[in-house]
Structure 1
Amino acid sequence: MQTSSRYNIYSRHLLNKFKQKVYKIPVNLPGTCPNRDGTLGYGGCIFCDESGSGFDALPNSLSVTEQLRSDKKYYRQRFNANKYIAYFQSFSNTYLPPEQFAANINSAAAEENIVGISVSTRPDCINEEYLDILSRAQAEKNIDINIELGLQTVNYHTLRKINRGHTLAEYIDAVQRIHRRQFEICTHIILNLPWDNTDDVIENSKLVSALGINYVKLHSLYIVRGTELGNMYERGEISLISLEQYIRRVITFLEYLDPAIVIQRLVGKGPQEEVLFCNWDISWWRIKHEIERLLEVEDTWQGKKFNYLNGKALSRVWSNNAN
């Protein structure tokens, strides 16, 4: 098996889907989430900083149109790009008044050469009214819609420890509602949360496979000074797995994952300022290359152990009887 085919690569998927290279433009808007403003809690997730886990983007004082036009010009000049996905990245982008959310989506959809919109949000910030807005934009502009849901882990004990503010049930509910609209779904998962183990990694993979998720973004946990997680790290209250263990978790996750699911990211990038821990002080691309190297060396691949759906126990019975 060739290295390029050992997992379902996002860039290749976009090329096949849109018939040319497509670039994702981050849109950075001022906002908050129900886990910050008191609706569910204060302070947000223990790892989230004031930027709402968004960086590498233009200032949020600029409008959606201004950000998209500026970045399109940059990508066009540097990469000769012609097609783009508008990516609403920071905070919970559906945690807005419906009219404001609709205005943001419509501004992006109206921009020339925008072929898709990706909306990052929380599972508990999905409801039918906001999905209606996305459905109208898709129908009117014939544009691709993708919703990114931050799950982080299937372990509900860990969800509570990281002050996520929702449980697994809200995620499943959001997925079912989005599926009914036939929008694509991307799920974010952090594979090295201090309270998770390899069993959680496998269950993460099995759950997103069973629910028919389209895309997955894997993240390594980064720790920012001034966050609750940062305070815990400085006080020595948590310990993190090694780089070698993280790589092993990524490979395990891929082995159990439905081979049809597209991998948008194997390891995340952190902000450049006030970081206490990020990727073991190694470039993200070196970690990515090491994962790909080990997939080759160990002759393993995405979906190698994808054998647990459609009545796994029955398949074993019939297989044994056949023999």
Structure 2
Amino acid sequence: MPDLPYRAYSEHLKARFGQKVYKLPVNLAGSCPNRDGNLGWGGCIYCGEEGSGFECLPNWIGVKEQLERNKAYIGRNYGSRKFIAYFQAFTNTYLPLETFAQNIEAAVGDPDIIGLSISTRPDCISDDYLDRLAEITRGRELAVDIELGLQTVNYRTLAKINRGHTLAEFIDAVLRVKQRDFAVCAHLILNLPGDEEIDVVENAKVLSALGVQYVKLHALYILKGTVLGEMYERGEVQIISLDEYVERVIAFLEYLHPDVVIQRLIGRAPAKNTLFCNWGVSWWKIRDMIIERMKSRQSFQGCRCDYLNGKALRKFRGQL
């Protein structure tokens, strides 16, 4: 078993590019179809005004300048010379096609950018955007991945959190992205109210069956001023214990295909107006808890990934 019981993103990047590679966040002045009335109002019940871009530079700064500023800071502090432009906050393909293309062209024009990571929703991926992305990146040695916010495969939970899409849209988006040979990174929250461990395991199975290349895990955090925050303050939301969350992450990793790269095991939240985040424990301590518990059990990613390629037919191949 390797030093880590899962396939870590940092090691994957080193192996692929032969050096340290860091993401440079880019914050665009976008929106979300689940906020502006196209699909719904208010967004997901847990989503704050800043979306996932609370650590980004202001979105009124141009793409090139954001990259230069972040490159200078990260390069100086982490010793990296090559970077991935990470279009992070909100729904980056929910922009007019030409605006989307201009933003991408601004990023790929930087010689230090060796990859693109574009965060969006499953219901905001279409052939015309993907074809334009393929056209812009054609002939360039760029690693391109599309980050899709799934959160859970449980379509009932998706409805409860006002996600605005179901599992079907995610499957459709993955298939379209993979047709262009771009990679897919799926975002999941393993402790959404209403989800149980069986849903966590099914998350791993669906992503493995679809051949998703990357995964980001994020424990649910609760912000003031959100629908979920109001529910939490009224005592209507129960959060599972930290120990149960650790067990869910381990179960997810055990059922996940060993080729899938884990970009993140646990996330962070904005310090301002946060009602609940990571059980009051530093994110890296939770990461270490997961690793130590897996090692103590001699557990590792994929050790229970035995459900693909006609499991029941193995009896005829002498594999049971």
Tell me the TM-score range normalised by the shorter chain: over 0.9
Q: Identity of aligned pairs, percent?
A: 56
Report what 2:233 is aligned to: 234
Q: CA deviation at 1:37?
A: 0.5
Asked whether the 8 Å contact 1:58–1:67 carries over to 2, the reply is yes
Report what 1:51 is aligned to: 50
Report what 2:213 is aligned to: 214
Asked whether the 8 Å contact 1:110–1:141 carries over to 2, the reply is no
Q: Which moved more, 1:309-318 or 1:31-40?
A: 309-318
Report what 2:128 is aligned to: 129
Asked whether the 8 Å contact 1:138–1:144 carries over to 2, the reply is no
Q: Which moved more, 1:140-149 or 1:242-251?
A: 140-149
Report what 2:202 is aligned to: 203
Q: CA deviation at 1:141?
A: 3.1
Query: What SS class does the counterpart of residue 306 from structure 1 fall into?
Result: coil
Report what 1:270 is aligned to: 269
Report what 2:8 is aligned to: 9
Q: CA deviation at 1:35?
A: 0.2
Q: Could you report, residue by residue, the CA deviation over 1:100-123 in whole angstroms, capped at 9, with x for unpaired residues?
A: 000000000001200001000000
For the pair 1:31 / 2:26, whether they are aligned, the reply is no
Q: CA deviation at 1:135?
A: 0.2
Distance (Å, rounded) in 2 between the aligned partners of 1:198 and 1:316:
28
Distance (Å, rounded) in 1 between the aligned partners of 2:22 and 2:148:
20
Q: CA deviation at 1:316?
A: 3.4
Asked whether the 8 Å contact 1:32–1:52 carries over to 2, the reply is no
Q: Could you report, residue by residue, the CA deviation over 1:42-90 in whole angstroms, capped at 9, with x for unpaired residues?
A: 0000111001222211111101111000111112222221000000000
Q: CA deviation at 1:256?
A: 0.3
Query: What SS class does the counterpart of residue 270 from structure 1 fall into?
Result: coil
The aligned amino acid for 1:88 is F
Q: CA deviation at 1:142?
A: 2.9
Give the TM-score taking structure 1 as reference length: 0.97
Report what 1:111 is aligned to: 110
Q: Could you report, residue by residue, the CA deviation over 1:223-251 in whole angstroms, capped at 9, with x for unpaired residues?
A: 01001111110111110000000000000
Distance (Å, rounded) in 2 between the aligned partners of 1:2 and 1:297:
14
Distance (Å, rounded) in 2 between the aligned partners of 1:161 and 1:221:
14
Distance (Å, rounded) in 1 between the aligned partners of 2:186 and 2:315:
31
Distance (Å, rounded) in 2 between the aligned partners of 1:79 and 1:196:
38
Give the TM-score taking structure 2 as reference length: 0.98
Distance (Å, rounded) in 1 between the aligned partners of 2:280 and 2:13:
30
Query: What SS class does the counterpart of residue 267 from structure 2 fall into?
Result: coil
Query: What SS class does the counterpart of residue 306 from structure 2 fall into?
Result: coil
Query: What SS class does the counterpart of residue 247 from structure 2 fall into?
Result: helix
The aligned amino acid for 2:55 is D
Give unpaired runs (5+ residues) of structure 2. Answer: none
Report what 1:251 is aligned to: 250
Q: CA deviation at 1:174?
A: 0.4
Query: What SS class does the counterpart of residue 149 from structure 2 fall into?
Result: strand
Q: CA deviation at 1:140?
A: 4.3
Aligned length: 320
Report what 1:292 is aligned to: 291
Q: CA deviation at 1:136?
A: 1.2
Asked whether the 8 Å contact 1:134–1:145 carries over to 2, the reply is no
Report what 1:183 is aligned to: 182
Distance (Å, rounded) in 1 between the aligned partners of 2:51 and 2:31:
7
Query: What SS class does the counterpart of residue 188 from structure 2 fall into?
Result: strand
Q: CA deviation at 1:317?
A: 4.7
The aligned amino acid for 1:153 is T
